[in-house]
Structure 1
Amino acid sequence: MASSTRPHDAHPYLRAASAGIRHHARSLAPSGGDRPGPEHRPHLDALHAHLTALLHLLDRLADHTRPPHPAAGRHLATAHTRLWQATSEVHAAFHLLPGTPQTDAQTSGCHPERLPEGPPVLTICQRHLAAGHVVRRKTTPTDLRPHTTACVR
Structure 2
Amino acid sequence: MAVSSPTLLAMLLWLLRTFVSSLICLLIGFLGLKILDYITVDIREYKTIKGKPIPTALFVGGFIVFTGLIVHGSASSPIFLGQSLLIGGFINLQRLFLVILSNLISLLFGWLFYYIFAKISPFQIDLDDINQSPEAIGIFLFTYEVFLGLIIHATLTMPF
TM-score with structure 2 setting the length: 0.30
More helix as a share of residues: 2
Q: Work out which structure has the larger RCO, using CA pairs closer than 8 Å and 6 or more positions apart in sequence.
A: 2
TM-score with structure 1 setting the length: 0.31
